[in-house]
Amino acid sequence: MKHIQGLILVALVAFSSCKQEEKGLDVSWKSSTENSVWTDKTYQPQPVEVIPEATIVVNTTNQQQTIDGFGGCFNELGWEALAMVTPEEKQQILNDLFSQETGCKFTLCRMPIGANDYAVDWYSHNETEGDFAMENFSIDRDKKRLIPYIKEAQKINPNVAVWASPWCPPSWMKHSKHYACKANPEFNDLPEAWSNTEELVSRFITEPEYFEAYALYFAKFVQAYKEAGIDISAVHVQNEYNSAQNFPSCVWKPEDLGILISDYLGPKFEAENIDAEIWLGTVERPQLERVTDVVEYGDAKKYVDGIGFQWAGKGAIEGVHATYPDMRLMQTETECGDGSNDWKAAEYTFNLMKHYFENGANSYMYWNMVLDETGKSQWGWKQNSMISIDSKTKAITYNPEFYLMKHLSAFVMPGSVKIDTAGDDENAVVFYNEAENNVVILAYNDASENKTVQFNINDKEVKASLDAKSFNTLTVNL
């Protein structure tokens, strides 16, 4: 009799646990594998006897940084690729990136100031040597590609914020009078005598009249875009200021960037009432001092609103976050691979996302949203893109990283907060949206077989069997 009573008690406990899990538990679930992307999964509470292989503890009061948004970069070659398809197909691609209903819901995107490596060719907004008054400044070139690209995106989402960074100042502001820092006869005509890959030595002419003219150049850029109907939310002072490239680039000594910000750019924006923020970006080296030497120079800290990181800059973000805990941080350009556009690239990018968000990043940028099938820049580097368009067949391919970005950006809204988790959380990142009172989990099953993972969210349990090698976004309404 006691044995039967015991069995009844166990059954009641099990039934009660299942009912407790079911009651009021509202979970939506998207999953992607290499062979089946963006599939709807139906969440069904699993029996208590199913033992999870991993348990992740989520307490929504353990809040970290606020999320500002997600996006990519408006590049000239992206607009050129979009021109290859029909107007209807082009609109669908843009909707898939920017629609706030069905797309990636991008809200924060980058653009270059002048040419970058994914421009059609080299240009700046003033190549008139010695024009310190910027009388010949012009954004006419951008009216052909970048401005239409941005405006088409903003037709879909008028709230897309745009930030901008130069890869190179006007070439006459450099000692070499050339856009490149490294000679490569196949791709540029920089004389070998001016080819120099040494770091921490400024290629910019660090004289007052050049600093003043460059600050004016930034100001005119923001003002000209405003007149064109596009507000520039922020400028990052130099793309990869330690890197000498065969494409548009400019190496800076960190202290000289500090001078630019502290003594010229900050005061210029202040005097002109320019409301675009000034960021130190983009940091692509792991040395903390290459950041602090800029921020701590003179009044630079007064003007620096945030710091952006890409590539090897991932090695600096932890130290920067510890040093400046209140500073906003951005991952400015996800590592763009070698044009593979495969599942392994998405796996690598997931780990990058995890790293940046665990170390304080408020936002995450992809790089090229759209490219042709070659993925090549005009300076020879083949890179990944979210979407590829075949120049011969006009076939459109949504690459794995498109879906990975969407797994976050379509669910983690600006204003959400990153949650500090515990347990077996090496392959998950979690956010809380207070406005909707929901938790968004991006979890990757890196195993070659299905894995049952349990998420203990406050007083609720969510237990799900994740497909082998799958990205999963679970939205749990509390």
Integer Cα distance of 182 and 205 in angstroms: 17
**Displacement of CA 304 from its chain's centroid (Å):** 19
Residue 422 near residue 451 (C-beta atoms within 8 A): no
Tokens of 284: 């692509």
Let me know whether 250 and 125 are in one domain: yes
Task: Find the mean pLDDT for residues 125-154.
Answer: 98
Let me know whether 241 and 258 are in one domain: yes
The answer to the question of residue 18 being in a domain is: no
Let me know whether 115 and 263 are in one domain: yes
Give the residue carrying structure tokens 């963006």.
38
Let me know whether 319 and 462 are in one domain: no
- Range of 192's domain? 68-411
Q: What pLDDT, in 10s, does the model give residues 175-193? A: 999 999 999 999 999 999 9
Strand order across the 387-389 sheet? 370-372, 387-389, 396-398
| pLDDT computed for residue 110 by the predictor | 99
Q: What pLDDT, in 10s, does the model give residues 249-268? A: 999 999 999 999 999 999 99
Let me know whether 141 and 56 are in one domain: no
Let me know whether 444 and 340 are in one domain: no
Q: Is the pLDDT of residue 23 over 90?
A: no
Contacts of 448 (CB under 8 A, 6+ apart): 468, 469
| pLDDT computed for residue 22 by the predictor | 42
Instruction: Assign residue 354 the CATH number of its domain.
Output: 3.20.20.80
Integer Cα distance of 357 and 428 in angstroms: 11
The answer to the question of residue 429 being in a domain is: yes
The answer to the question of residue 10 being in a domain is: no
Let me know whether 286 and 164 are in one domain: yes
The answer to the question of residue 298 being in a domain is: yes
What are the DSSP calls for 434-477, one per residue?
Answer: TTTTEEEEEEEE-SSS-EEEEEEETTEEEEEEEPTTEEEEEEEE
Residue 294 near residue 253 (C-beta atoms within 8 A): no
CB atoms within 10 A of CB 82: 24
Let me know whether 79 and 58 are in one domain: no
Q: Is 358 exposed, middle or buried (0-12, 13-18, 19+ CB in 10 A)?
A: middle
Let me know whether 55 and 103 are in one domain: no
8: confidence class by pLDDT, cuts 50, 70, 90: very low
Let me know whether 301 and 157 are in one domain: yes
Tokens of 373: 């099938």
Q: Is the pLDDT of residue 93 over 50?
A: yes
Integer Cα distance of 178 and 169 in angstroms: 10
| pLDDT computed for residue 247 by the predictor | 98
Task: Find the mean pLDDT for residues 324-341.
Answer: 97
Task: Find the mean pLDDT for residues 128-139.
Answer: 98
Domain boundary among 353, 385, 411: 411
pTM of the model: 0.94
Strands 417-419 and 428-433: antiparallel
**In the chain, how many domains are there?**
2
Reduce the DSSP state of residue 189 to 3 states and report it. Answer: coil
Let me know whether 140 and 227 are in one domain: yes
What are the φ/ψ torsions at residue 327 (nearest 5 degrees)?
Answer: -80, 135
Domain boundary among 359, 384, 411: 411
The answer to the question of residue 4 being in a domain is: no
| pLDDT computed for residue 25 by the predictor | 85
The answer to the question of residue 313 being in a domain is: yes
| pLDDT computed for residue 21 by the predictor | 44
Q: Is 22 exposed, middle or buried (0-12, 13-18, 19+ CB in 10 A)?
A: exposed
Residue 302 near residue 266 (C-beta atoms within 8 A): yes
370: confidence class by pLDDT, cuts 50, 70, 90: very high
The answer to the question of residue 102 being in a domain is: yes
Q: Is the pLDDT of residue 445 over 90?
A: yes
| pLDDT computed for residue 17 by the predictor | 40
Let me know whether 35 and 133 are in one domain: no
H or E, element range at 345: helix 343-358
The answer to the question of residue 100 being in a domain is: yes
Residue 197 per-residue DSSP state: -
Instruction: Assign residue 453 the CATH number of its domain.
Output: 2.60.40.1180
Tell me which of 432 and 14 has the higher pLDDT: 432
Integer Cα distance of 256 and 275 in angstroms: 23
**AA letter at 253:** K
Task: Please give the share of the chain, as a percent, with pLDDT higher than 90.
Answer: 94
Q: What pLDDT, in 10s, does the model give residues 210-252? A: 999 999 999 999 999 999 999 999 999 999 999 999 999 999 9
| pLDDT computed for residue 2 by the predictor | 40
Domain boundary among 360, 393, 411: 411
